[in-house]
Structure 1
Amino acid sequence: MSKLTPLDQLKLGVCYYPEHWPEQLWEDDYRRMRELGISVVRVGEFAWSIFEPEEGIFSFDLFDRTLDLAHKHGLKIILGTPTATPPAWLTQRYPEVLNATFDGVTIQHGLRRHYNYSSTKYRELCAIITRTMAEHYKDHPAVIGWQIDNEFNCETSEFYADADHAAFRQWLKEKYGTLDALNAAWGTVFWSQTYSDWEQVHLPRQTTGGKQPNPHLALDEKRFISDNTISFAAVQGHILREVAPNHWITTNGLFGHLDNHRMTDELLDFFSYDSYPQFSTIYYDEKEENRLADRGWSQSLGAVRSISRNFCIMEQQAGPGGWVNKMDMPSPKPGQMRLWTYQSIAHGANLVVYFRWRTATFGQEIYWHGLNDYHNRENRRIREARQIGGELTTIGDRVAGTTYAAEVAIVRDYDNEWDGEYDVWHGPFRWKSNTEWFKAMTRRHIPSDILFMRTTTSIEDLRQYRMLVYAHPAIMTDETAALLEQYVSMGGIVVFGCRTGYKDMRGHCYMRPFPGAAANLCGISVEEFTMVKGSRAPMSMAWSKAGESGEPVITAANAFNDVLLPESENVQVMATYTSEHYAGKPAVTRHTFGSGEAWYYGAVFDEAAAALVLEAAGISSPVNDWLELPPQVELAIRQDERGPLCFLLNYGEEPAAIAVKGLKRDLISGSELHGDAVIEPFGVMILE
């Protein structure tokens, strides 16, 4: 029997909790799922107390019946290992499995994810339930795959139980070998922090200034949490590989302090994500200009795609969302659920699983609504799901084998993100700049990828792209710099922002002129620098294409200013500062390096500046010669050997007018388009 994977075809699924509903509802639920075009169901990820009501006493009757019934209706099952919700008997008998706060207060049973990964007892109990479930269901004809745990590092991504401090010490011993090496890496000679015994070493704890640990300890803490999480996941992953080799393995997430790329490489067949675009309505910066709202969710989908080129959406928002005490997301407007489904598919999802089939009538998530409301009657969301199911049945064979295509990548890496959580001299800049770049590209219909820079990244990985935007990589090794030099010398374009290249992997500052490891590639040094607090110092953009008046284009130089000094004769000054004591000094440079070019932008990007760099570098939309689109429409391209599929997603509440040169066909409707056309509010077209 060969391993089945849901990513070979385009499919719809739904999350279902049979333990929440009277058994007489199950068959009608499954029948209606099939009627909507749903073929995959996720179950079991929170049901430990059902599977093991007492330690060592296992019960599979309920799930045997529901899986047999699902199989009868032609549904395939994703089983979740239930380790995100240890039952009350477990935490009562083994309180050492519980997590603790930074202040050392034990996190009690009562919500979910209240355990720590370091507890040897918890790992033992997780191994037992995983093995027992795998043995029981390895040959069940409905089961196709497993989701390990649920949303690693959701709720909390920091762990301070006694077992975590002990595990951190062991991790440090393996990483550094000796206390002398640890002291050197953390610079503990500063403020007389030098350790003389391993028992003196802890995860961050309360200090005179609150939570203000040694910055190098803080960076290693994040690396430890990631490694420890992967180690915990591996306990289950290895068992599933051994016992159920014909099933695939995934997990869902994209939460903090976890190298999802490494975890996927080592343990999973593909990565999965939980997509809730309405989070953009409740978690956003009110000061952000021209924000993208749910369209901005495509950034996160790009990060998922950097892990798995094609992936699963394990939870796709299907209704308004909220717990009893928080997260009051509004209901999708007519067409938005369909739009978000195609947003996920456009960015690489081949399996989209709605959360959830029916809204729970009890518990913390009674306001986290699914396709069906409490009353189980037909509603607008059900009708929308039926439309989607019918469409995917028609277009699935054409879409499933395609992958996302982009010529520009926004570059990220875990070390800078983890270091930047504590370091205010570069950390806050990354999200701002990357978001502004994404705005500039998506509003100009330039598809973009996310690329994570890793020790395994090769020149072939980089050469897929004409341009790389690596906004504020404070930590940069000479090896990474050399790889980027090779990429640029072969014709690539790389764009850096302020605070580039001045730290090593320990978080120590190089004793070199800024931008440190990137100086040779950029052809400049930083003459001086300053934070910009409470004001904006404007730059004059001396582009070759000036404004109609011939005057330079003016944009803002936000948050931080690097004053640049050209060191190479191949450096062109693209912009100068226009105020403060450094008025007239270089602010933006372009360095010809081999066959390519390296840009250095001495501030935090805004959309206008990113757009000017794109224009000067000759980067434009791949459809400019045959398609006119308004800014409210996102363009995403998936392609294979048969050619590209252009997804057009209208995020506006008004119709979007487009103009097509030549003859194109909308894959969804089958209509042929030539000349002017309209995409309905929250509408979707796929042109081929």
Structure 2
Amino acid sequence: MTQNTPSPPSATIRFGCAWYPEHWPESRWDADLDLMVAAGMNVVRVGEFAWSSLEPQPDRFTADWLERAIARAAAHGLATVIGTPTAAPPAWLTTRHPEVLRVGPDGRVHRHGKRCHFDPLHPVYLQHCRRIAGWLAERFGSHQAVIGWQIDNEFSDLSHGPVAANAFRHFLRRRFSDLDQLNRAWSGAYWSLAYDTWDQIEPPDFRGGDHPGLLAAWRDFATEAWTAYAVNQAEVIRVHAGSRQFVTTNATFEFARQDSHVLFAGLDLCAADVYLGSGAPLVHLDPGWMGVYLAAARGVKQAPFWVMETQPGTIDWFAANPAMDPGEVRRMVFHQIAHGADAVLFWQWRSAPNCQEQYHGCLIGQGGRPRPIYDEVATVGAELRQLAPLLASTSVQASVAVLWTYRDRGLIDSRRLHQGFDPWRHLRDQYAALRRQGIDVDVTSPWSQLDGYRLCLAPHLAMLDPALEERLLAYVAAGGILILGPRSGTRDPDASLLPSDPPGDRLGAALGGHVRESYCLTSPLTLAGDIAGSADIWGEWLEADAPDTVVNLRFGPEHPWLAGKPAMLTRNHGRGRIGYLGTWPDEPTLAALAAWLCDLAGVSRPWAPLPPGIEVSGRRLRGRASKGAGDRQQGVHIVINHSATGHVLPVPFPVIDAFTGAPLGTTLHLAAGALAVLIGE
């Protein structure tokens, strides 16, 4: 497994937007840039869809307009991130080379006039991408106003054309020594699915009924393909880019399309596009749904990250697209900064007059005047400028983590077995329960560095291999507490059922227990034991195999098979403790369980209990948190009231209001929708 190199905290907090100067007469540029500066912005992203403006005909490059735009932005104090324009190939390219057009799972060839309508595996397209990226880097790699590069835009799905199909077969031939090994791994005798030749293997069509081994391999192949696509451009950019220019790409879809921990391993920082609907069809800010995505972005490199896009009030892709409430954009930006974002950029500054995203939110209206949301954005910009010296070079320091993998998420999502078993929601629920304790929580891979965490929850660590088991057991033996969740330890890396009871031989031996049976729940069940509550969606009959295995929770009498059976087991292992939670508790029960686990792990919760809708986050100057003595260094605490009612919070240590510089006292009064930034321990 690829290990990510953490990126250092930024010395500057960036605030800005996506700007498309090619859409507008140059006579308008200064007026727009003046408004950006008035809104407190200090960075723009440009160019990621501008291929036809940069190369209107083959080999006829024209970047003078872009150089003038960057220069005008710099004259206004705005740095620039250049996006390589490869998400939108020009018409001359797809006309000359129709073979580079993307083929959908249904076999239909995508047409010009959209975006992402290309095959990222086609060698002709890769050659053109490398050429335009290299030309841009040669032109702007030493430009003092250019601080970074975004490769392409929002990597999406692979093509299913002949190039991708052949590349997938080569991928499988590298993974399996021969067809016999593949057929054994995929239980080829079932339904007579065994292959006689490699050419018989086709990509999945996603119409339902795709083989789980095929799907698992395709997901891994997608990560490898998009990583190679990024490297193809990153290599040529770095030939010309100075060391002060970072190279990244902007992830989306809550990291559902590629393994972000692999994709970003060779890039300088993680960047993500974060909207209110990230993970769920929400039109207002939910700190659990957005927070888990932000924490996952931070967890990619266990370091600060960029929000390369976020929404300025409204979007345009839901059945109904209401505006965010007054004050909600401010809360959203501080929510993102609180979770470790070193930059927040709105998409977009102004809509093109005629385009597919005409009705997406923006900051400047079609008549050229600021829209109502602009004033709120300007308020946030002024506040971030005031707070920048405090926030710069800080990062979130969490002693608790929620572990997840792209592979487990894809596996469970393709075989939910209960329509409510959404793996991203499962992750979100456990994350949100921990955040209710007033603590910072990382969301990261089990292959990340775990030694700084006192407590790790793994909601559904389905796919196991010996190396991962060894890694997790070493973490526990060294003093960590690991709690596995339902459906953990059921599959191998090829998606085959393990030849042992969950959670696998080694983890089960350490736990001193196993899963006897699993059940889809159609109504809630009560839970009793170290805490009391209820659960729904999923239940597992656990059995203790060792005399020192502790039954922490049992199911109530409601279910004919699960009545009275253990629902949670824990056991000491080395200097730590391993546990297994065999159900999906409801929100109050998860909150109670999170509090119990934090106390078990010795995790300090000075702000707990938090009222509903209140979140507290911290950023500090030091390095990763450790399991040693508590750190009393000064930190920045961001407290946000997402609820519709005011609250009075006890303040657990002396703090200063970062906006006024005044000492606060022992209580914090937060009106509905208000926030506070505090300086304290």
Distance in 2 (alpha carbons) for counterparts of 1:624 and 1:226: 38
Distance in 2 (alpha carbons) for counterparts of 1:293 and 1:137: 39
Please name the residue that 1:40 is paired with: 43
Please name the residue that 1:684 is paired with: 675
Cα distance, 1:571 vs structure 2: 0.9
Distance in 1 (alpha carbons) for counterparts of 2:104 and 2:42: 42
Letter matched to residue 25 of structure 1: R
- Contact 2:646 / 2:669 at 8 angstroms: preserved in 1? yes
Q: Does 1:244 align with 2:244?
A: no
- Contact 1:647 / 1:685 at 8 angstroms: preserved in 2? yes
C-alpha change, 1:603 and 1:62, in structure 2 (3 Å) is same
Which digits, 9 at most, give the CA deviation of each residue in 1:8-40, with x for residues without a partner? Answer: 211212211111112211012122222322111
Cα distance, 1:328 vs structure 2: 4.3
Please name the residue that 2:4 is paired with: none
- Contact 2:520 / 2:539 at 8 angstroms: preserved in 1? yes
Please name the residue that 1:448 is paired with: 441
Q: Does 1:86 align with 2:92?
A: no
Which residue of 57, 60, 79 maps to 1:54?
57
- Contact 2:18 / 2:46 at 8 angstroms: preserved in 1? yes
Distance in 2 (alpha carbons) for counterparts of 1:554 and 1:39: 49
- Provide TM-score, normalisation by structure 2: 0.90
C-alpha change, 1:482 and 1:231, in structure 2 (3 Å) is same
Distance in 2 (alpha carbons) for counterparts of 1:307 and 1:328: 32
Cα distance, 1:392 vs structure 2: 1.9
Distance in 1 (alpha carbons) for counterparts of 2:653 and 2:641: 22
Q: Does 1:377 align with 2:361?
A: no
Please name the residue that 1:468 is paired with: 456
Please name the residue that 2:666 is paired with: 675
Which residue of 526, 530, 547 maps to 2:515?
526
2:473 is paired with a residue whose SS is: helix
Cα distance, 1:501 vs structure 2: 0.9
Please name the residue that 1:555 is paired with: 534
- Superposition pairs of residues 431-446 of structure 1, within 5 angstroms: 431-446=424-439
Which consecutive residues of structure 1, in runs of 5 or more, have no partner in the other structure?
Answer: 285-290, 546-552
- Contact 2:534 / 2:585 at 8 angstroms: preserved in 1? no
Letter matched to residue 148 of structure 2: G
Cα distance, 1:109 vs structure 2: 1.5
C-alpha change, 1:528 and 1:142, in structure 2 (3 Å) is closer
Cα distance, 1:254 vs structure 2: 3.4
Please name the residue that 1:505 is paired with: 493
Cα distance, 1:340 vs structure 2: 1.0
Q: Does 1:261 align with 2:248?
A: no
Which digits, 9 at most, give the CA deviation of each residue in 1:347-377, with x for residues without a partner? Answer: 1111221222223332111111222222333
C-alpha change, 1:201 and 1:657, in structure 2 (3 Å) is same
- Contact 2:312 / 2:346 at 8 angstroms: preserved in 1? yes
1:38 is paired with a residue whose SS is: coil
Letter matched to residue 17 of structure 2: V
Cα distance, 1:667 vs structure 2: 1.1
2:144 is paired with a residue whose SS is: coil
Which residue of 555, 573, 578 maps to 1:593?
573
Letter matched to residue 649 of structure 1: I
Distance in 2 (alpha carbons) for counterparts of 1:35 and 1:592: 58
1:30 is paired with a residue whose SS is: helix
- Provide TM-score, normalisation by structure 1: 0.90
- Superposition pairs of residues 486-635 of structure 1, within 5 angstroms: 486-517=474-505, 518-532=507-521, 534-536=522-524, 538-543=525-530, 553-556=532-535, 558-577=536-555, 578-579=557-558, 580-619=560-599, 625=606, 629-635=610-616
Letter matched to residue 621 of structure 2: D
Cα distance, 1:661 vs structure 2: 5.0
1:118 is paired with a residue whose SS is: coil
Which consecutive residues of structure 2, in runs of 5 or more, have no partner in the other structure?
Answer: 1-6, 623-632
Q: Does 1:110 align with 2:113?
A: yes
C-alpha change, 1:231 and 1:162, in structure 2 (3 Å) is same
- Contact 2:457 / 2:482 at 8 angstroms: preserved in 1? yes
1:672 is paired with a residue whose SS is: coil
- Contact 1:77 / 1:144 at 8 angstroms: preserved in 2? yes
Which residue of 10, 15, 20 maps to 1:7?
10
Cα distance, 1:472 vs structure 2: 1.7
Please name the residue that 2:472 is paired with: 484
Please name the residue that 1:297 is paired with: 290
1:673 is paired with a residue whose SS is: coil
Cα distance, 1:409 vs structure 2: 0.9
Please name the residue that 1:548 is paired with: none
- Superposition pairs of residues 220-231 of structure 1, within 5 angstroms: 220-231=217-228
Please name the residue that 1:652 is paired with: 643
C-alpha change, 1:164 and 1:624, in structure 2 (3 Å) is closer
Please name the residue that 1:333 is paired with: 325
Distance in 1 (alpha carbons) for counterparts of 2:257 and 2:426: 21
- Superposition pairs of residues 270-289 of structure 1, within 5 angstroms: 270-277=269-276, 282-283=281-282
C-alpha change, 1:263 and 1:280, in structure 2 (3 Å) is closer
More divergent stretch after superposition (18-27 vs 190-199): 190-199
1:358 is paired with a residue whose SS is: coil
Distance in 2 (alpha carbons) for counterparts of 1:138 and 1:615: 50
Paired residue total: 654
CA root-mean-square deviation: 2.5
- Contact 2:642 / 2:673 at 8 angstroms: preserved in 1? yes
C-alpha change, 1:245 and 1:631, in structure 2 (3 Å) is same
Letter matched to residue 636 of structure 1: S
Please name the residue that 1:287 is paired with: none
